[in-house]
Amino acid sequence: MQHTTSVFDLPEHLAAKADPALVERDEQLFTELSGSLEQTVTDLTARLATVRRSPAGHGQTAVERDAEIHRLVARLRGLRRHGPDLCLGRTVADDATAEHVYVGRQGLTDAAGEPLLVDWRSPAAEAFFAATPAHPMGLASRRRYRWHLGRVRDYWDEPLTPAALASNREDHGDDDGGREGDGGVGDALPDARSAFVASLGGSRTDRMRDVLGTIQGDQDAIIRAGSRGTLVVDGGPGTGKTVVALHRCAYLLYTDPLLGHRRGGVLFVGPHQPYLDYVADVLPDLGEDGVQTCTLADLVPEGAAAVPERDPAVARLKGNLAMVEAVEAAVRFYEQPPADGLLVETPWADLWLSPADWARALGSPDPGTPHNEARDGIRDEIVSILVDRLAEQGDDRYEDGAEVEDGAGLADDGAYGGDEGGDVSPDVLRAAVRRDAGLTAAVDRAWPLLDAAELVADLWAVPAYLRHCAPWTSPEDRAALRRPAESAWTDADLPLLDAARHRLGDPDASRRRARHEATVSSELEYRSQVIDDLVAADDDRESEVVMLRSSDLAEALAGAFDPDDVAHDHLVGPFAHVVVDEAQELTDAAWQMVLRRCPSRSLTVVGDRAQARGGFTETWQERLDRVGLTGVTVSPLTYNYRTPAAIMAEAEVVVRAAIPDANVPVSVRTTSGHEVRHGSVDELETVLEEWLAEHPDGTACVVGDPGFVGTSRVRSLAPELTKGLEFDLVVLVDPEALGSGVEGAVDRYVAMTRATERLVVLTH
């Protein structure tokens, strides 16, 4: 028989915990919470409808309206996902006269404006996550709830003072509900009665579980760290690095106004698509749906079809920071001023463009202007040089204001006089020079439009070009890098393609600008003719019709025609803050992809040096300093909350064989029943059938058997695609076939530590 109240739905063996003396205050809170939640959703829905009906406006008004709509939609989505289970738990102050503080996923008030829930990101909630018996932070105890389908299925009171501990024993006795022990770990670890330890053995799904209510003090301290500079979250398997990274995104967006959408927002970079699918629900559940998430491959168009680089030597060469500089040299190869001058013919005079003029024009773009986008400015500079030169020649045709030659010269108003005595405006002269076919062809040769993919492909296809751009490479290096022109791009190429695209800019920008200018010019010409006709037909020279000739009006008309819309790449940035998970895998070249999108250098870097497939012998500070990040702070996580100790013991032997100083975390879960099973590869189907029959819930993963076809509950993944994931059962097939050296050891280590309940190793 179950004891059920309005919210509490405790199993029979926990009936004592339903004593009204223990839950009455919570019952009252949950009742008020349900009513407030319903009213808040109604009010926010009405507010959203009002804002959407309001005029969009222009400029700052439009931006503020869009931001308000985004805020309301995000808050409504978060509230509608939950009922009373918005509440994570409560704190009881050491001061008996103080009110309990209830902590929620979002803040919520009652009709009088009094707080029912404080947002988990607020300072008032910090003690809920961070307090320990050694540092109670003014608390006597903390209660955490375990929710299921909107009902409390269990709760835990964690005493934080000796008096609270004695009281808790009186209320609940010494029964721990059959939960796992903590193996005698110290005060820094979760209490044996905590919701956190009790939840570690729960079945996994294809989505990361909601763990907000069980975040631990060491994790919370990192989540709440400031956004300035670069923070490295360093920890081994199961230490909660990904949990910290995701919740840190939500925390920073809530607390730091410099990181909002109008300031650039937050970019979250994960290691692979299965990982992004796994964590897809976490941020929306936290009320944040504006964080951009991607993999490194998503940052460039070629990433979708890129294949792994199988040659480690080639991967190292392409990942070298010097290779990024070779891309810069490859672009500069096309930015050299011509050694010969050029004669430009106009109806008024032949003009000489000298090599010095070429050098001046090609050096005119502002530093940092992308190559392709600089060309229009270079052409304009050349036209200015030639028009000024024509003016100088015109000045030479006058002496004391008298015309020396036959009417071709400078008129009194500064316009150029033609042979027939008419005036020619500077704009006409500029247009004539710009239309000169010879000059256009010369500019195209001197500063050609370049395509990023073609530029990088030429480096691999033309050894002489690569030698020119990367003189530090040896003949053997260039031979290894050589690829046929139609070869598939590899993941090692992507940082160089990104560098080339960033340096070159949009090759179509000039064409779009030209089309825009032609459209505006044609429309203005047509409207000018219409205005002239209207003015000519109006006898009143002071009427409002004459005002149509206003230059301000002409400018307004020109501004009515915007350039062609171009699909905006939301991953170009810049972003105010960037989070990189599994960052130990990034090469120096790959780091440049990240830093281009984060000029503020405000980053959260998450990783484990012992899980780097290519090896990681430096410190984090040394690695990041080399790529341009200084003042790095490293925050370690040292406890493994995922992997049972028996499994971790075997995994530790594997990784230390290749990386003796690997930072292997201490497992919290020490109870028996999680031993590693060894067998033959012929047993794969039997192992899976037995496990599926015994476990109606949960997920499994087969690692190392490409021929195995996954199902809805059993995944089949390569070891490198399991990073960041977790499964109840992991079956590692023929581990030695994964390779030797550091890469093979890391792949085995990563695969083994994905298991939360059972690991089976099958060999031939």
Which residues are annotated as part of the binding site for ATP?
235-242
What is the sign, positive or negative, of the torsion defined by CA atoms of 395, 400, 401, 404?
Answer: negative
**DSSP H or E run through 658:** helix 645-658
Tracing tokens 């020109």 back to the chain, one arrives at 558
Determine the Cα–Cα distance for residues 218 and 635; give it in Å rounded to an integer. 9
Helix (H, G, I), strand (E, B) or coil at 143: strand
CB 443 within 8 A of CB 379: yes
Helix (H, G, I), strand (E, B) or coil at 707: coil
Task: List strand residue ranges (DSSP E) for 574-669, in order.
Answer: 577-580, 603-607, 633-637, 639-640, 666-667
Task: List strand residue ranges (DSSP E) for 76-229, in order.
Answer: 87-93, 101-104, 108-109, 115-119, 139-148, 151-159
Give the Å distances, CA to CA, from 385 to 121, 347, 352, 358, 730: 60, 17, 10, 10, 71
Determine the Cα–Cα distance for residues 753 and 155; give it in Å rounded to an integer. 29
Tracing tokens 């992997």 back to the chain, one arrives at 643
Report CA Rg, the chain: 34
Instruction: Please spell the DSSP secondary structure of 480-546, one letter per residue.
Output: HH---TTPPPBTTTHHHHHHHHHHH--TTHHHHHHHHHHHHHHHHHHHHHHHHHHHHT-S-TTSGGG
CB 1 within 8 A of CB 12: yes
Cis-peptide, bond into residue 123, ω within 30° of zero: no
CB 144 within 8 A of CB 88: yes
Question: Could you tell me how far CA 425 lies from the centroid of its own chain?
Answer: 52
CB 424 within 8 A of CB 417: yes
**DSSP H or E run through 645:** helix 645-658
Contacts of 88 (CB under 8 A, 6+ apart): 103, 104, 105, 120, 128, 144, 145, 212, 213
**Smallest Cα–Cα separation from 299: which of 598, 553, 69?**
598
Which residues does the annotation place in the binding site?
A: 235-242
Q: Crossing angle for the helix pair 494-504 and 312-319, nearest 10 degrees?
A: 30
Determine the Cα–Cα distance for residues 229 and 239; give it in Å rounded to an integer. 23
Contacts of 218 (CB under 8 A, 6+ apart): 188, 637, 638, 639
Determine the Cα–Cα distance for residues 615 and 587; give it in Å rounded to an integer. 11
Cα angle vertex 540, ends 538, 546, to 5°?
Answer: 70
